[in-house]
Amino acid sequence: MTKLKLDRRRFLGSAAAVGGGFALGWTVPGTLEAFAQKQVGDAGSEVGIWVVIHPDDTTVVRIARSEMGQGTLTGLAQLVADELDADWSKVRTEFVAPEENLAKKRAWGDMSTGGSRGIRTSVDYVRKGGAAARMMLVAAAAQQWRVPAGECVAADSVITHATSGRKLRYGQVAAAAAKLETPKDVPLKDPKDWKIIGKGVKRLDTAEKLNGSLVYAIDVKLPGMLNAAIAQCPVFGGTVKSFDAAKIKAMPGVHSVVPVGENAVAVVADTWWHAKTALDKLPITWDEGEHATVSDATIAEFVKSGLDGPQAALGQQQGDVDAALAGAAKTVEAVYGTPFLNHATMEPMNCTAKVDGDKCEIWVATQNGDAALAAAAEAIKIKPENVKVHKTLLGSGFGRRGMTDYVRQAVVIAKQVPGKPVKMIWSREEDMQHGFYRPITQCQLKGGLDADGKLVALHARLAGQSILASVAPSRMDNGVDKLAFQGWLADELGYMAVPNLRIDMGVRNTHVPVGFWRGVNHNQNAVYMECFIDELAHAAGKDPLEFRRAIMTKNPKHLAVLNAVAEKAGWGTPLPEGVHRGICQNGGFGSYCAAVAEVSVDAKGKLKVHRIVAGIDCGYAVNPEQVARQMEGSFAFGLGASYFGRNTVKDGRIVEANFDTYEVARMADVPKIEAHVLASGGFWGGVGEPTIAVCTPAVLNAYFAATGKRLRTLPLSQHGVV
C-alpha cells in the first residue's frame, strides 16, 4: 500500500503507478496489490530532468500536469517512454513538485491543466526529455564499450551494440548517463516509429483507485492535524458582519472559530464532523450586500437585454449580414438559452495547510500546482519560495480546481492555528453554492436562405456572462472576451463558407461568479449553432447532413469527421419504427468532433436516447482507449447537464444545495455510446473537452425529427421530456 510520503525527498510520488503495458485478460490473477506501485527506493539516477532510472530498470517519468481522471498522467508517460525507448512495463510516474519547478525556473514548463492542453501543449518538450535521456543512456553505454554511439541502438530499456551484440540494460548505465550533459539537439522520432504513443495501453493509476488506498487530498492525514468546516456568505459579494464564537466553544472537539477573509467563517475542531456540527450551530450575521434581491427573473431580464442592446462585442464578421438577410428568399429566427451550471466535482473542495511563521506547506488537489503555490504565498503574504505544495490526484476537476479560492482559505485558516496542519473541507452544500458556474447566456440567431435553400447569411448574437471578465480580465482582447465565442471564430467555426456572417455579443455580467466548466462556452454555443443550423435545414427542406455539407466547403477537416460519423451511424439508412436521428458537428480545443443521436419519444412525451455515434479527430491520439473513455465521460457529463442541470438564483444566492436538487446523470441516463477515434495525424488536438459539445445538439435535433418540436432552452427537465 502506498502512503503519502510526508518526509518526501525531492519529489512526491503520490501518483500511484501501476504496471500496465501488457494486455490484461478478463480475469486478473492475484490481488490488486500485485499491480500497485512498489515503493521506489532512493537508488534512481536522474537522466535529464524528466526521467529517473533505477538499477532494476524501473523508469520513473516526471509529470508536471495534474491528473483529474482525464488520463493525462498516462498519456504524458507514454510520450516520454516512447522517445526513451523504455520497456513500458517498467514505467512509473511521479509529480514534479511546484516548488522544484519554481526553484528551477519552470524547467518542467507549465503546470496548468485545463483547456484540454495537458498533453497537446507539452508534446514537444516532454518527448524531447525522453529522447534526450535515451541519447544519454546510449552515450554512456558507448563510452563503456569504447565504441561510437552511432553503432548502438536502444529498445525496451536495453542498449545493444549492433556489431558485437553486447547488451546493457538502462539500469546498468543510468548512473553514468546521469553525469553526462543533456544534449541540446534532440531529434524526435517519426510518428511511424512510435511504439507506445498511439497504443491503447492501460492507465498507470488504476489499481489504487480500486481498493481505497489512493490518498486524495481529502484523505490526507498528518500528525496533530485539525479539521475545519467553513461557511461563506450565501450571497455572492456579501460579507461576514459578526459571529458569536462563544455559543459553540463548548461543543465537542471545537478548537477555535476563525474569520476567513471578508466573507467566511471557519470552525476548527478535532474531526471534520465535529467542526461541521459546531459550524451549523454557529450564529453568523451576514452583510448580504447589494445583490440580495437578485433572482432568476431579474437575471433573465438583464441577460435578455443583451440580445438587442447596442454594446455588442464583435467576435467575427464577413460579408454584409444585414443586407444579405434583407435580400434573402427566406429568413429564420430563433432565441435559445442555457442556465448557470455548477461543476459539482465528486470530491468537494478541500485543502490541508500548515503555516509555521513565514513558511507554509499545503496538500491539495489542484489543476495547477504553480497557481496553488502562488495563491498560498499571496494569501498570507509570504515568499513563494517558502511554500511547499504536495499535489495529490484530483477527485475530478472540470475546471473548478483551476481556481484557488479554497487554497487561499485553507492557508488563511492555518495561519490562525500556527504550527498545526489544518484540513479544510467544504460541505457539499458549500461546494454547490459557491462555485464558479458555467455562464448563463441566451442567443438570438438569424439565418437567410437563398432561392435554392442555401444559407447566405447568418447572425448569432450572444447575450450573457463573460468568463474572462470575471476571472481573468487581463486576458481580454481590447475589452472583448474572445473565449465567449468558442466554436464560432474563424479558427473554429465549420461554416466559413457562409458568405455573410456576424458573431457578436451583448455582455451582461451578473454578480454570480462564472468560470471554466468542462467544454466551457462550446457547450452552449454548439447547442445554439447546431440546433439552429438544423432549423435552417428544415426551413430549406433539406437533409441536415446535406445542408451542412454545402456550407462546409472551406472546412475540410470538420467535414471529414462529420462525413465519417454519418457513415458509421448509417445516416440515411432505415431505422426501427419510432426511432429518429439527429446530427451535429463542432470544432474546439484543437480537435474536430461530430455526433449522430438516435432517439424515440414515447406516448407520454418522454425522450429516450438509444444510441449516440460520435467521432473525434484529435490529430494524433496518444492513447485511443483513453480518448474513447473521455468521449463517453464527456457525454455523460454533458447530457446530464442538458437533461437536469440548472442553478437558479433567489435572494442573490444559488438555490440548489445538493444532488437532490442539482441532479446529474446516473447510470440509467447514459445511452449506448459508440466512440470513434478518427485520428488523422499531423497535429495534436485536445481530448478531455471537445466532444462534450456535440452530444446535446445531436439529441435535440433528433428530438425534433421525432416530434417536430424544437426545445430551445435547457435543461430538458423543465419541458417534461426527461
Determine how β-strand 284-287 pairs with β-strand 580-588: unpaired
Closest by CA position to 17, among listed 93, 68, 69: 93
Instruction: Give the length of the chain.
Output: 722
Cβ 590 to another protein shortest distance, Å: 3
- Find cell 468546516 and name the residue: 229
Cβ 336 to another protein shortest distance, Å: 20
Using CA atoms, how far apart are residues 452 and 328, in angstroms rounded to an integer?
Answer: 11
Using CA atoms, how far apart are residues 440 and 464, in angstroms rounded to an integer?
Answer: 6
Cβ 658 to another protein shortest distance, Å: 5
Beta bridge partners of 159: 154, 168
Cβ 651 to another protein shortest distance, Å: 19
Amino acid symbol at 613: V
Using CA atoms, how far apart are residues 147 and 159, in angstroms rounded to an integer?
Answer: 13
Q: Which is nearer to another protein, 423 or 712 (CB)?
A: 423
Neighbouring C-beta atoms of residue 698, cutoff 10 Å: 32
Q: Which is nearer to another protein, 25 or 574 (CB)?
A: 25
Cβ 653 to another protein shortest distance, Å: 19
Residue 49, all three cell numbers: 530532468
Q: Which is nearer to another protein, 183 or 259 (CB)?
A: 259
Name every residue whose Cβ is closer than 8 Å to that of residue 246 and which is 6 or more positions away in sequence.
none
**Residue 327: enclosing H or E segment and its boundaries?**
none
Q: Which is nearer to another protein, 171 or 234 (CB)?
A: 234
Cβ 684 to another protein shortest distance, Å: 5
Q: Which is nearer to another protein, 157 or 521 (CB)?
A: 521
Q: Which is nearer to another protein, 323 or 346 (CB)?
A: 346
Query: Sheet of 330-338: strands edge to edge?
Result: 312-318, 500-507, 455-464, 441-449, 330-338
Closest by CA position to 257, among listed 247, 484, 214: 247
Amino acid symbol at 205: D
Q: Which is nearer to another protein, 332 or 393 (CB)?
A: 393
Q: Which is nearer to another protein, 48 or 494 (CB)?
A: 494
Q: Which is nearer to another protein, 151 or 287 (CB)?
A: 287
Name every residue whose Cβ is closer than 8 Å to that of residue 443 and which is 6 or more positions away in sequence.
307, 335, 336, 337, 460, 461, 462, 463, 524, 525, 528
Using CA atoms, how far apart are residues 362 and 329, in angstroms rounded to an integer?
Answer: 64
Cβ 122 to another protein shortest distance, Å: 9
Q: Which is nearer to another protein, 145 or 194 (CB)?
A: 194
Cβ 514 to another protein shortest distance, Å: 12
Amino acid symbol at 423: K
Cβ 390 to another protein shortest distance, Å: 16
Query: Is the Cβ–Cβ distance between 612 and 633 less than 8 Å?
Result: no
Residue 273, all three cell numbers: 464532523
* Alpha helices, H only, 466-586: 467-471, 522-539, 544-550, 556-569
- Taking phi over 0 as left and psi of -120 to 50 as alpha, with beta for the rest, 417 belongs to beta
Cβ 699 to another protein shortest distance, Å: 15
Q: Which is nearer to another protein, 145 or 302 (CB)?
A: 302
Using CA atoms, how far apart are residues 107 and 686, in angstroms rounded to an integer?
Answer: 23
Cβ 583 to another protein shortest distance, Å: 20
Cβ 600 to another protein shortest distance, Å: 17
- The CA–CA distances, whole Å, from 268 to 245, 247, 349, 555, 620 equal 11, 14, 16, 57, 49
Using CA atoms, how far apart are residues 395 and 70, in angstroms rounded to an integer?
Answer: 11
Cβ 427 to another protein shortest distance, Å: 7
Q: Which is nearer to another protein, 409 or 486 (CB)?
A: 486
Using CA atoms, how far apart are residues 382 and 112, in angstroms rounded to an integer?
Answer: 22
Cβ 425 to another protein shortest distance, Å: 7
Q: Which is nearer to another protein, 358 or 452 (CB)?
A: 358
**Residue 510: enclosing H or E segment and its boundaries?**
none
Cβ 324 to another protein shortest distance, Å: 26
Q: Which is nearer to another protein, 185 or 660 (CB)?
A: 660
Query: Is the Cβ–Cβ distance between 389 and 99 less than 8 Å?
Result: yes
Q: Which is nearer to another protein, 28 or 323 (CB)?
A: 28
Using CA atoms, how far apart are residues 446 and 443, in angstroms rounded to an integer?
Answer: 10
Q: Which is nearer to another protein, 66 or 701 (CB)?
A: 66
Name every residue whose Cβ is closer than 8 Å to that of residue 261 and which is 6 or more positions away in sequence.
408, 409, 412
Cβ 407 to another protein shortest distance, Å: 9
Neighbouring C-beta atoms of residue 548, cutoff 10 Å: 27
Using CA atoms, how far apart are residues 161 and 170, in angstroms rounded to an integer?
Answer: 13
